[in-house]
Structure 1
């Protein structure tokens, strides 16, 4: 099958965050490609990637970057495909630098931007974009949301039944 979504990142150090986008796409059985494209260290690779993405069959590009975070904006400047930027949390400014770099795009060069380290939401937004022209995918997306709702309702019922103190004591996910 041909990849529909490109997942790119400025460095392999972004992979622990960006793998979450891949996991969502795996869940929906959407083909993707995943690679490193540095806006600053490999500008020719960035340009080539962005210019050929549509011809390769990609429909959406998810671009994660930290620090100066120029990758999503530079891809959007070269490609007509929708670009979703994922600001990566940094050690110096906790990802605010990344967020500000991605959201401050000039008029005419849009980049959809998710929360810091929000690769899951980036993938879900890409799924929504693809679902506009794919009823099967739209149905899978609706089922996914129903599964999330059922999980929250189950958790709420358990919390209400046990009371918050017992819930915290019994819940492994809150353990140190």
Structure 2
């Protein structure tokens, strides 16, 4: 994790059990050289902690938040309620419904509280989307995205 720079991306997940799946997100952000912060807090078990973390994210320098959760998966929506920053949700695959429960919880947000959503266990794509969002205000990140897409096309 990039400790020396101010985190531009906040990664929050509802449980330590989400860490192995979210490693692809962290690895991709590392490859892009994007500093990030990781927080583990459940929207249901630690709502005040989630509230404080989300509300303070912008002040800590973050520009995008990635929220991963499974089952009821309200974490992304709760975070989005407390920050003006864009939130990317990563639905975690579950043993109960294969992640469909997580996905539906994330994409069925009420009007006024949007959350972008990637595929079930789509952690790597969340990092790529974060780079694209950061690139809207930063030419270097746009160039990096162009190079990433070119490398994919050339592979």
TM norm structure 1: 0.84
Query: What is the CA–CA distance in structure 2 between the aligned matches of 1:117 and 1:142, rounded to whole Å?
Result: 24
The alpha carbon displacement at 1:137 in A equals: 1.3
RMSD: 0.6
Separation (CA, whole Å) in 1 of partners of 2:75 and 2:39: 13
Q: What does residue 149 of structure 2 align with?
A: 145
* Matches for 1:71-150 after TM superposition, within 5 Å: 71-150=75-154
Larger Rg: 1
Question: Could you say which structure has the greater relative contact order, defined with CA pairs below 8 angstroms and 6 or more residues apart?
Answer: 2
Helix, strand or coil at the partner of 1:89 = coil
CA positional deviation for 1:34: 1.1
What does residue 163 of structure 1 align with? none
TM-score, structure 2 length as denominator? 0.96
* Cross-structure match for 1:8: 12
Unpaired runs of 5+ in structure 2?
A: none
1:29 aligns with 2:33: yes
- Count of paired positions: 151
Report how far residue 38 of structure 1 moved: 0.8
Once the 2 structures are TM-superposed, how far is the Cα of residue 132 of structure 1 from its aligned partner?
A: 1.0
Runs of 4+ in 1 over 3 A off after TM superposition: none
More helix by share: 1
Matches within 5 A, 1:52-63: 52-63=56-67
Q: Deviations over 1:95-153 (max 9, x none)?
A: 000000000000000000010000111111110010111111111111111111111xx
